[in-house]
Amino acid sequence: MPIIKAGPELELDVGRLRGERYDKLQGQMAADGLDALVLLHGPHVAYATDCLPKGVDVTHASANRPVAVVMADQPRPWLLGGEADGLDVEAGPEVWPDIDEGAAEFGGQLDSILGGTARGGRVGIDLMTGAMRRTGVLSGAETADAANTMGAVKLHKTIDELACIHQAQARTNRAMATVQEALVPGVRRVELAAVFLRRLREEGIDANMIDVIFQPMARRMADGPRTTTGHLAFPTWSGDPVYAEGDLIWVDSGSDYHGYASDFGRTWTVGRSPTPAEQRCFERWLAVMDATYEAIAPGATFADVCAAATSADAPHRSDGDRPWMPHFYLVHGVGIESAEMPFLGTDNGPDFDAAHTLEPGMVMVLEPAIWEDGTGGYRAEEIVAVTDHGWIPLGGGHPYDPFEVPT
Amino acid sequence: MSLHLQRRARAVDALAAAGIDMLVAGRQDHINEVTGAHQLWTAGTRPFGPICTLNTATGEIFLLSTWDEGVPEDIDLDHLHGITWNGAIIYQRLAATPGVATAQRIGIDAWSPGMAGLLSAVAPNAEIVPVDDILLRARRIKLPSEVDAIRAACAVAAAGAAAALAHPGTDTERLAAGVEAMALAGSSTPAAEPQVEGPIVDFSCIRSHYEGGLGRTANTAPPAQRPHAALIAACTPGATGHDLRRAAPDGDWLIRGSGMGFEPPVINARYGANEVLEPQMVLSVSARIGGEYARDTVLVTESTPAILSPEAP
């Protein structure tokens, strides 16, 4: 059984990371017929320039956001605003595209960078603020959705992108080990969050991207929140529950290292060992993971992987359901976004899963979930990267305590 | 009336006055504003997508949420759309939303080429109009319970600032201590990035949808002698951006709205000369002169401005 023990030796080479991403981006722009890219979404700006997103509220991330401009024929990207020190960019002045006065100025700056492209060229853009629409920014250009270009370049990770995800995950794992020690009866969610946020900083991670989730799970779905799926509600709003002995806690978090996200998932019990019934859920989860790992290889279709996971749990089921939450997936990708392609087992449906295949460089977060109504369930997450021949684990592994892996 | 229903009424009035039939919102603060839902906080910018619709004629809301946890009772389960990964489902839902197909003017809070295509497909006759400015303008004048929520958030941020000021060690260690203390005080979600730079600290948080924050310098001067003192004193009804520039210190300074996060107006040496302050606006007022920095969250009143952030963190 490929329980993950240790990650590969992955060293981040920042210069290579920047260079390879920029080459891929310009290559994809050529394929998409774009003369320029204008990027306002934080992770996209980071991809183009290495100016990293901050772990701040959306309103602050938007207010005087850095903007990246990539020209098809220029060797370096433009970075307007943000902290350009040490980056390989053409630095421009701070911009405020979310307010009308700022957007008008920004439009002028864009025109001077884009030159003739601003009049009749084809410009990929990921987002326009209301102020940009009101002030007619890029009104002389043909605009295309940059989401397509960005989706294509980020799908296959470079070795340095893998190193970033590996580091993000390893550091999050270490922070979570401290948090788990603090989980005792009577502790409140904010106390766990406090330990986690402090430990992340100590691990050199300053961008926590999701309000960390320690969700106590109702043992019967009928006792939990109502859902559109008739299934589990997870991850809900955090609130501030107090944990009691015997609670079953589903844990989830996501924090950036050098702009790349971790994704930690585990199931913890409070103040006691798992019951035999809870342990059985964990062992079903392990069996699903084994089958999933077994099925992951370049060329396998998304449907192949989903079928392997589903078969592994079929002996325990009469409901025909699949061993993951219906509003989510068996697998999602991770990178500059906490969830990105590839998605396996979503509501895109069986045709989508049959039509897509795994390819080297894809990074996959496996997150099956087992639920036995009345008992509760087990859910955890592991990250792997698809390689030329199979896959490698990222993050260096983390124990499943207090659940026991059978020998 | 509960706070979120007052906010929703305020937004509906402003949108309807601008002839908007339907709001399609994607940014979390706008979603929180009109729905009152407590949804999982995530950091950073977001691509634009239709997370919430609000029909300004009927008040009917549809919200992207697989569960009713955190969703006010006035939005029924049958008005929740589960999380989807499928563009065709997003299209079908929008097309089926009462009022979308017949809308004359649809308001959006951001724009992308892909979403513009989607909206013109489901509402071919509608004019698609950015309304972020309308929503944010309506939010400028705070309701009394909003001021209470901001004051409470300021107290949480102050706990972070106090811990960082008191903690020995490197800036990184003091920052970690501040972040930990702010979480213990009730918020694990920052507004802006916390700052610890030698004697200078700045902490802010989002607590129950509202932002609070402050900045201090260790062993600081009394309030009246701090770098932002004259700016705060100038935050009176009728004061314009020009007036505030005249009151500004010879250093870095910024006045901006603060409520459900960062809000307009933005007033500094470059922007906002024609803005006019009104009672019940809440502002973040900051200034730095040399090694001295201070920031407070300030309520504009009919008379002297009221400082909502605690004096001694």
- Return the SS3 of A281: helix
* Chain A touched by B183 (CB under 8 Å): yes
pLDDT in tens, A316-361: 988 878 999 999 999 999 999 999 999 999 999 999 999 999 999 9
Residue type, A342: P
What's the average model confidence in pLDDT over A194-207?
Answer: 96
pLDDT(A385) > 80: yes
The whole-angstrom separation of Cα A250 and Cα A257 is: 23
Instruction: With beta carbons under 8 A apart, name residues in chain A contacting B46.
Output: 41, 58
ipTM over cut 0.90: yes
Q: Does B266 touch chain A (CB under 8 A)?
A: yes
Alpha-carbon distance B138 to B132, whole Å? 10
- Which residue among A57, A131, A237 places its CB closest to the CB of B38? A237
CB A77 within 8 A of CB A66: no
- How far apart are alpha carbons B177 and B179 in whole angstroms? 6
How, if at all, do strands B252-259 and B210-217 pair?
unpaired
Within 8 A by CB and 6+ apart from A85, the residues are none
Please, is A152 exposed, middle or buried when counting C-beta atoms within 10 Å of its C-beta (0-12, 13-18, 19+)? middle
**pLDDT confidence band for A2 (50 / 70 / 90):** very low
The alpha-carbon gap from A186 to the nearest alpha carbon of chain B, in Å, equals 14
C-alpha span between A112 and A362 (Å, rounded): 37
* Amino acid making up residue B56: T
Does residue A55 register a pLDDT over 80? Answer: yes
Percent of chain A topping pLDDT 90: 94
Residues A142-176: pLDDT tens digits? Answer: 999 999 999 999 999 999 999 999 999 999 999 99
d(CA A196, CA A205): 11
Q: Are A223 and A230 in contact (CB under 8 A)?
A: no
Q: Which residues pair with B62 in a beta bridge?
A: B53
Whether B33 contacts chain A with CB within 8 A: no
What's the confidence (pLDDT) of residue A4? 34
Residue located via tokens 């850095």: A66
CA distance B70 to A330: 26
- With a CB-CB cutoff of 8 Å, which residues 64-103 of chain B face chain A? 65-70, 77, 80-86, 89
Phi-psi category of A133—alpha, beta or left, where left has phi over 0 and alpha has psi -120 to 50?
Answer: alpha
Q: In this complex, which of A59, A134, A212 lies closest to B29 when CB atoms are compared?
A: A59
pLDDT in tens, chain B (313 residues): 899 999 999 999 999 999 999 999 999 999 999 999 999 999 999 999 999 999 999 999 999 999 999 999 999 999 999 999 999 999 999 999 999 999 999 999 999 999 999 999 999 999 999 999 999 999 999 999 999 999 999 999 999 999 999 999 999 999 999 999 999 999 999 999 999 999 999 999 999 999 999 999 998 888 899 999 999 999 999 999 999 999 999 999 999 999 999 999 999 999 999 999 999 999 999 999 999 999 999 999 999 999 999 987 6
Q: How far apart are CA A217 and CA A214, in angstroms?
A: 9
pLDDT at B106: 98
Q: Is residue A129 within 8 Å of A40, Cβ to Cβ?
A: yes
Instruction: Using a CB–CB cutoff of 8 Å, tell me whether B131 touches chain A.
Output: yes
Reported confidence tier of residue A10, pLDDT bands at 50, 70, 90: confident
* Beta partners for residue A376, in sequence order: A372
Find, among A150, A132, A106, the residue nearest to B108 by Cα.
A132
Residue A379 main-chain phi, psi, to 5 deg: -145, 135
Choose the closest CB to A42 out of B28, B44, B180.
B44
Residue B104 CA to its chain's centroid (Å): 29
Closest in B44, B67, B271 to A236, CB measured: B67
Taking an 8 Å cut-off on Cβ atoms, the answer to whether B188 and A212 are in contact is: yes
Q: What is the DSSP-derived secondary structure letter of residue B67?
A: B
Sort out which chain B residues have CB atoms less than 8 A from A191's CB and list them: 183-184
Residue A8: what pLDDT? 52
Phi and psi of A353, rounded to 5°?
A: -65, -35
Report the distance separating Cα A170 and Cα A200, nearest Å. Answer: 11
What residues of A are in contact with residue B39 (Cβ under 8 Å)? 237
Task: List, in sequence order, every residue forming a beta bridge with B210; answer none if it has no partner.
Answer: B207
Cα(A381)–Cα(B296) distance, integer angstroms: 42
Q: Is B168 on the interface with A (CB under 8 A)?
A: no
Q: Which amino acid is located at B15 in the chain?
A: L
Tell whether the model's pLDDT for residue A9 goes beyond 70: no
Structure tokens at B78: 């049958």
Under 8 Å between Cβ of B202 and B214? yes
Interface of A with B in 146-175 (CB under 8 A): 147
User: Does B193 reach chain A within 8 Å, measured CB to CB?
Assistant: yes
- The neighbouring-strand residues paired with A23 are none
DSSP letter string over A146-200? Answer: HHHHHHHHHHS--HHHHHHHHHHHHHHHHHHHHHHHH--TT-BHHHHHHHHHHHH
Map residue B233 onto helix, strand or coil. helix
What is the per-residue pLDDT for A218?
A: 95
Total count of residues recorded for chain A: 407
Angle at A109 between CA A104 and CA A112, to 5 degrees: 130
Closest C-alpha among A130, A363, A203, A22 to residue B179: A203
Amino acid at B142: K
pLDDT over 80 at A121, yes or no? yes
- Residue entry with tokens 């004697």: B199
Collapse the DSSP code of A84 into the 3-class scheme (helix H, G, I; strand E, B; otherwise coil) and give the result.
coil
What is the pLDDT at residue B103? Answer: 96
CA-to-CA separations, A209 to A55, A61, A259, B280, in angstroms, rounded: 5, 12, 10, 32
How far from B209 is each of A200, B35, B60, B258, B262, CA to CA, in Å? Answer: 24, 11, 22, 11, 12
User: B 13-32 residues with CB below 8 A of A?
Assistant: 27-29
